[in-house]
Amino acid sequence: GGGGGGGGGAAPTPIPTPAIDVPNTPVASLAAEEELSNPSGSPTRPNMVGDGQEFMPHPLNNLVSPMLTDMYQLTMTYAYWHAGRHEEHAVFELFFRKNPFEGEFTIFVGLDQVLAHLKNFHFTTSDIDYIRQLLPNAKPEFFDYLAAMDCSKVVVSAVKDGTIVFPRTVLLKVEGPLAVGQLLETTLLNLVNYPSLICTNAARMRLAAQPKNDPEKKVILLEFGLRRAQGPDGGISASRYAVAGGFDGTSNVLAGKLTGIMVSGTHAHAFVQSYTGFHMIQDPMLNGVDLLAQVQELRTTKPMWMETNSSELAAFIAYALCFPDNFLALVDTYDTLNSGVFNYIMVARCLIRLGYSPKGIRLDSGDLAYLSKECRRRIDEAATDFDEPELAKSIIVASNDIHEEVLLSLNNQGHCIDAFGIGTHLVTCKAQPALGCVYKLVEINGSPRIKLSQEIGKVVIPGKKKIYRLLNAEGCPLIDLIQRESEPPPKTGERVLCRHPFQENKRCLVTPTAVVELLEVVFDGPNGYCAKIATAEEMREKSSSQLKTFREDIIRPLNPTPYKVAVSQALYSFLHDLWLQNMPIPELT
């Protein structure tokens, strides 16, 4: 299976079919896509997350709680409480310092789970009992404080799920009591880091899969990585956020049930191997017609078809009897070109004669570019010979350890693949296993705070901030501008000086045609407000539409141009003044 083939073994299940545009070509019709994604033909399942509900009841993973944290968060919380500082007003910001996968963009997601965690934040009785064991010398009143703790005094601002973001851009701004803000750190990082990494990886694969010579073609991408994911939670998160990054569905049945995303699956090599001959087909009748007899009769019309693997043909017939309108065959169990594709053609042709619409084949090994073109040729030749245009609509699905570089290579070689099942390299983010978001205190009791470092890139820009995206007349983003919260926002048509936060000689003037504020309040505990949670499909729509607005050189896979993130003149001056105030002057002796 090589990672990509795992999903092919998923049994057909009731699933929703997304509304996605497919080009009007002989190999990829809308009906073909819908049937591929919904092999059982069952009614769609209502989305259980973000389908108009006011709020997700709980995070997808029931392990997400205040206890999903690091020990030092608890020790600091006790120290704050012991010193009487736990209610001091603090501001924390979550951001990252470097884009993943040697690229120059990242897609932010995970806010849906952050909001669910904030809404449900509380310690249980058993949590408190365990913390007593960890902090045996803590005063008893501290545990009463923990038992009553929630996020009712917390306000969170964030960029929207599916937003294209860049290093130093504030993704989440958390304001509220110092102790609560501190306790949120590890959990929020956990809920944002991996989803954003997966989503970005998926988006890069979506871009790589699109044929440059046919930009209108809809290539279907399916996530097949559950068996290779880092545990059950990694599998569920990968499925949801791969869709947010541009994938069409998943093989993960539980992810479909929990989140309503499209589930897809046909059969694996084991199904083909399990058949030893035609005698294993117990009931060959399909709507009163003996499908086995029809296929065997057709087989005798071409000598080369008589040489195909009979047990493979028996397996295909058995599967077609169960799913005649959604027949998609894995053709590489024995010999793709001399057996598998011919066996598919025989069964598919008989199904068409009976009024059904077979869907296509899947390749899971070998030279995918060459095999896809040869299979396409054989299928199209058979469609012409039999005067069966329906047969020419058969799609070709490919799996087998596919990653971004493979997709780029296939497009360079030319191929006839209509859909990809991608597993290991997608869900494990093998090219880069972590994003590296950080969560830093930037203000306490109205006083901006700075963190210095010998590594300039790790210096934290102090104080509460707002982020603006400046656009040109075509709607193309020019630069992201970070300002102090007290500054007036940039105005359209007025020139603004944008500065690199750490390099004095890097600066530019920008006159924006449009200004977009990226941070908005998504959780307001004091006022009982929580923003609507986005579905994976809504995240996908936002991320894909935003990617189309950026210059191609910024999102290209090789040697991309860095996108500019700058600070205002006021923030630049404030940052460097505070830097000098807090940096001791060394004395040489």
Using DSSP, state whether 94 is helix, strand or coil: strand
- pLDDT higher than 50, residue 543: yes
Domain that holds residue 573: 71-198+432-582
| Nearest-angstrom CA–CA distance, 575 and 98 | 20
The domain that holds 455 is classified in CATH as 3.20.140.10
Structural tokens at position 64: 């997400």
What pLDDT is attached to residue 161? Answer: 97
- Residue linked to tokens 């929703």: 16
Name the least confident of 19-33, 193-207, 436-450: 19-33
542 — phi, psi (to 5°)? Answer: -70, -45
Helices (H), 225-363: 231-244, 253-259, 269-273, 291-299, 310-322, 341-353
DSSP H or E stretch at residue 223: strand 220-223
Summarize the confidence of residues 433-450 as an average pLDDT. Answer: 95
Assign 442 to helix, strand or coil: strand
**E strand or H helix that includes residue 398:** strand 395-398
Task: Give Cβ neighbours of residue 137 (< 8 Å, ≥ 6 apart).
Answer: none
- Co-location of 334 and 378 in the same domain: yes
In a domain, 253, yes or no: no
Look at residue 56 in the predicted model and tell me its pLDDT.
53
| Among candidate residues 401, 427, 453, the one where a domain is terminated | 427
Percent of the chain clearing pLDDT 90 (strictly above)? 84
Lowest mean per-residue pLDDT among 24-28, 409-413, 523-527, 560-564: 24-28
Mean pLDDT of 544-563: 96
> At a CB cut-off of 8 Å and minimum separation 6, what does 268 contact?
1, 5, 8, 9, 330
4, pLDDT greater than 60: no
Tell me how far apart the alpha carbons of residues 375 and 553 are, in angstroms, rounded to a whole number.
Answer: 35
Q: How, if at all, do strands 395-398 and 360-363 pair? A: parallel
Q: Judge whether residue 11 has pLDDT over 70.
A: no
- CA-CA distance, 547 to 103, in Å (whole number)? 13
Q: What is the pLDDT, as a whole number, of residue 20?
A: 31
Instruction: Say yes or no to pLDDT of 523 above 80.
Output: yes
* H helix intervals, 497-568: 536-547, 552-555
285 & 190 share domain: no
Residue 77 lies in a domain: yes
- Listed range (7-11, 315-319, 475-479) with the worst mean pLDDT: 7-11
Nearest to 230 by CA among 198, 205, 200: 198
What CATH number does the domain containing 373 carry? Answer: 3.20.20.70
What pLDDT band is residue 580 in, cutting at 50, 70 and 90? confident
Domain identity same for 569 and 460: yes
- What pLDDT shows up at residue 17? 35
Average pLDDT, the chain: 90
Would you say residue 172 lies in a domain? Answer: yes
Return all residues near 513 (Cβ < 8 A) that are at least 6 apart.
471, 472, 473, 492, 493
pLDDT at 29 over 50: no
87, 191: one domain: yes
User: Sign (positive/negative) of CA torsion 398, 236, 263, 215?
Assistant: negative
Beta-bridged to residue 397, according to DSSP, are: 362, 419
Is 500 a member of any domain?
Answer: yes
Cα separation, 174 vs 177, whole angstroms: 10
- Reduce the DSSP state of residue 408 to 3 states and report it: helix
Question: Residue 65 in contact with residue 38, Cβ under 8 Å?
Answer: no
Q: Give me the pLDDT at residue 7, please.
A: 43
Same domain, 90 and 104: yes
Range in 104-113, 372-381, 390-399, 570-579 with the lowest mean pLDDT: 570-579
Min mean pLDDT across 90-99, 189-198, 578-587 is at: 578-587
Spatial separation of the C-alpha atoms in residues 71 and 69, rounded to whole Å: 7
Q: How far apart are the first and last CA of the chain?
A: 66
Taking the C-alpha atoms of residue 147 and residue 150, their distance in angstroms, rounded to an integer, is 9
Mean pLDDT of 415-441: 95
Decide if 2 is inside a domain.
no
In a domain, 233, yes or no: no
- Whether 213 has a pLDDT exceeding 90, the answer reads no
Domain final residue, candidates 380, 400, 427: 427
| Segment 558-573, tens digit of pLDDT | 999 999 999 999 999 9
- 420 and 273 within one domain: yes
Residues 417, 477, single domain; the answer is: no
Contact 484, 467 (CB under 8 A): no
Express each pLDDT in 185-200 by its tens digit: 999 999 999 999 999 9
Same domain assignment for residues 316 and 349: yes
Whether residue 360 is found in the same domain as residue 448: no
Q: Are the beta carbons of 575 and 450 closer than 8 angstroms?
A: yes
Q: Are residues 445 and 577 in the same domain?
A: yes
- β-strands 328-330, 360-363 pairing: parallel
Model pTM? 0.89
Q: At residue 51, does pLDDT exceed 90?
A: no
Task: Say if residue 148 is in the same domain as residue 276.
Answer: no
Q: Has residue 130 been placed in a domain? A: yes
Backbone phi and psi for residue 114, each to the nearest 5 degrees, phi listed first: -60, -45
Helix axes 368-385, 341-353, angle to 10 degrees: 40
Instruction: Examine residue 34 and state whether it is found in any structural domain, yes or no.
Output: no
Judgement on whether residues 397 and 444 belong to the same structural domain of the protein: no
Q: What are the pLDDT digits (tens) for 318-348?
A: 999 999 999 999 999 999 999 999 999 999 9
Number of domains in the chain: 2
Give the end of a domain, one of 427, 461, 490.
Answer: 427
Q: Cβ neighbours of residue 476 under 8 Å, at least 6 residues apart?
A: 549, 550, 551
